[in-house]
Structure 1
Amino acid sequence: MSLPVLVAIVAVGIALAVAAVHFTGGSRQAGISSEGEALQRFLLDFPAEKAEAVRLTSDGKAAFISLYGAGTGIVGVIGDKFLTRIACARDIKSLTLAGNTVSIRFRDLTWPGGEFVFADLSAAQEIAEALDPSLNFATGKA
């Protein structure tokens, strides 16, 4: 068998495998559609926690949950799965607030963080203040 034919067979095989994964739901993206759904998902992993309030991001890819006591619960979407964690000020490497966008970098390498856009400024400020109480809202920077 010639090399060009072998390359073509391999390329077609890879394309068929990728298509099969896609059409069987392998590229499906999860989302958070409501505060209740976010809280329910969070409580699956942390059943002993008591929530005060839930704030969803505008794109439905993350939810931040104010907890009684210390910490903020986070439910994040990664592909078709959910990542849940409890974060507090010592877990934050950097945090900035710019309008209704909170940019967070965590010290933990398992989830570096990201940019989270909220529907309104007050929600973004609440989350930023909960994760970094020293945040200065006058300048919009940590």
Structure 2
Amino acid sequence: MSLPVLVVLVVFGIALSVAAVHFTGGTTNATLAGAGQALARFAEDFPDEKPGTVRLTADNHAAFLDLGPRRCGIVHSIGDCFLTRIVSPHDILALVREGNVVSLRPNDFTWKGGRFVFADEADALAIAAALQGRDQIRKAA
């Protein structure tokens, strides 16, 4: 088989694979239908925890669950699945709150954190207060 034909076949095969993944839902981001779904998803991984208040982000891609003093559960969409974590102030390397936005970076190499936009600034304040540690939080100017 000639090299140009082989190159065309390989390129076509890769393009076909990418298209198949895309059209079967592989490139969609999961969203939470509401607080109930966030609680149910969190309970799958942490059945012994008893979450309180659930704060959904404005895009419904993440939820923060109150787990008591200075502990927070997180349900965050990654692709078409959800990642769950329990975090406390000692798990956070950096946390910045700007109005209704909380940006956090945990010391967990398996999850880089992110920028979370809430519909209400009070939710962002509550999350920042629950996760603030010594010199970790600052309000952006």
TM-score under structure 2 length normalisation? 0.91
Shift of 1:135: 7.5
- The 1:140–1:55 alpha-carbon spacing in structure 2 relative to 1, beyond 3 Å, is same
- The 1:55–1:46 alpha-carbon spacing in structure 2 relative to 1, beyond 3 Å, is same
Write the letter of the residue equivalent to 2:139.
G
- In structure 2, the partner of 1:8 is 8
Query: 3-state DSSP class of the match of 2:19?
Result: helix
| Separation (CA, whole Å) in 1 of partners of 2:135 and 2:100 | 14
- In structure 1, the partner of 2:124 is 124
Shift of 1:93: 0.1
User: Is contact 1:28-1:80 (8 Å) kept?
Assistant: yes
**Number of aligned pairs?**
140
| Separation (CA, whole Å) in 2 of partners of 1:44 and 1:9 | 44
Q: Deviations over 1:102-132 (max 9, x none)?
A: 0100011111101000001100000010011
| Separation (CA, whole Å) in 2 of partners of 1:21 and 1:98 | 37
| Separation (CA, whole Å) in 2 of partners of 1:68 and 1:98 | 24
- In structure 2, the partner of 1:140 is 139
| Separation (CA, whole Å) in 2 of partners of 1:69 and 1:140 | 21
Query: 3-state DSSP class of the match of 1:96?
Result: strand
Matches within 5 A, 1:1-142: 1-132=1-132, 140-141=139-140
- Which range moved further: 43-52 or 72-81? 43-52
RMSD: 1.9
